[in-house]
């Protein structure tokens, strides 16, 4: 039995763009940096970004839970205040981590934005949802939130029902949805407006049925020409980087 989906029709803009994964980054341009966002805008791409919560509850545009891989800092992002985080530098770059408000100010509605809210077990995801909702409250550009955590879409459905909210899924390694029963449970909890599915798990009978019913299917991370061809066949649009983005 196929699971129910939201009855809200998807907006046209959602599937008309290719989204630069963490901005248009490369070896010289840090992921999730304002420079990566600026380059994506110049190239005519939408932007996908990650959000972590600082110690003083600011939404920071950053992927990892720890600073070490990406910056000259150490420790966890949750242990530092936003002002301290903004003083750090990305490795081999003059760029600094930004807040979501800074990113929104840069984009200014020029391209759509997908905001992935990071989560993990025993994490207070409601706090992250609330600060992201507050940051997006007065933003008029096209945007949506999404997460591997199905509680994110549920939170927005209850507390900010106008917000477009999606569910991110994978089928192996780690995450919330390795087993089929977890995928169906996540869909029941989230009732998402769209699905962002791992490219290596496509084609997929469940996804194909949901797409046929009208649920928009995005796919990530498309980082080669071969994967781009697969994505164009089995999904509605791409979250891409490297050779997967044109």
List, for residues 38-65, the tens digit of each pLDDT value: 999 999 999 999 999 999 999 999 999 9
Structure tokens at 19: 């989204």
| Burial zone of 206 (CB within 10 Å; 0-12 exposed, 13-18 middle, 19+ buried) | middle
pLDDT band of 3, cuts 50, 70, 90: low
Of 101, 57, 96, the C-alpha closest to 78 is 57
pLDDT band of 68, cuts 50, 70, 90: very high
> 3-class DSSP state for residue 97?
coil
Burial 101-136 (b: 16+ CB within 10 A, else e): bbbbeebeebbbbbbbbbbeeeeebeebbbbbbebb
Q: Which residues have a Cβ under 8 Å from the Cβ of 85 and sit 6 or more positions away?
A: 54, 60, 62, 73, 77, 97
Say yes or no to pLDDT of 70 above 60.
yes
**Sign of the alpha-carbon dihedral angle for 204, 207, 211, 217:** negative
Cα of first residue to Cα of last residue in the chain, in angstroms, is 38
Q: Which fold has domain 12-244?
A: TIM Barrel (3.20.20)
Mean pLDDT across the stretch 104-109?
Answer: 98
Domain boundaries, the chain: 12-244
Structure tokens at 225: 């020409």
Please state, rounded to an integer, the average pLDDT across all residues of the chain.
94
Say yes or no to pLDDT of 1 above 50.
no
Say yes or no to pLDDT of 8 above 80.
no
* pTM for the whole structure: 0.96
Number of Cβ atoms within 10 Å of the Cβ of 182: 15
CA angle 231, 210, 49 (to 5 degrees): 50
Check if the beta carbon of residue 231 is closer than 8 Å to that of residue 4: no
């Amino acid at each position: 039995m196929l699971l129910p989906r939201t009855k809200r029709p998807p907006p046209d803009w959602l599937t008309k763009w290719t989204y630069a994964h963490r901005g248009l980054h490369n070896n010289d341009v840090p992921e999730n940096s304002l420079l990566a966002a600026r380059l994506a805008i110049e190239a005519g791409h939408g932007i996908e970004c990650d959000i972590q919560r600082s110690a003083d509850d600011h939404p920071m545009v950053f992927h990892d839970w720890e600073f070490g891989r990406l910056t000259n800092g150490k420790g966890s992002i949750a242990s530092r205040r936003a002002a301290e985080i903004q003083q750090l530098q990305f490795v081999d770059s003059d760029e600094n981590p930004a807040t979501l408000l800074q990113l929104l100010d840069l984009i200014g509605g020029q391209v759509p934005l997908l905001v992935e809210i990071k989560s993990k077990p025993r994490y207070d995801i409601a706090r992250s949802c609330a600060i992201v909702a507050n940051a997006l409250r007065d933003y008029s550009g096209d945007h949506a939130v999404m997460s591997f955590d199905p509680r994110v879409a549920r939170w927005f459905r209850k507390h900010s029902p106008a917000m477009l909210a999606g569910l991110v899924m994978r089928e192996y390694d780690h995450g919330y949805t390795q087993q089929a029963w977890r995928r169906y449970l996540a869909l029941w909890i989230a009732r998402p407006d769209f699905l962002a599915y791992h490219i290596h798990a496509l084609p997929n009978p469940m996804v194909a049925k949901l797409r046929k019913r009208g649920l928009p299917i995005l796919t990530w991370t498309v980082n080669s020409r071969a994967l781009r061809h697969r994505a164009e066949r089995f999904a509605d649009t791409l979250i891409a980087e490297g050779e997967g983005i044109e």
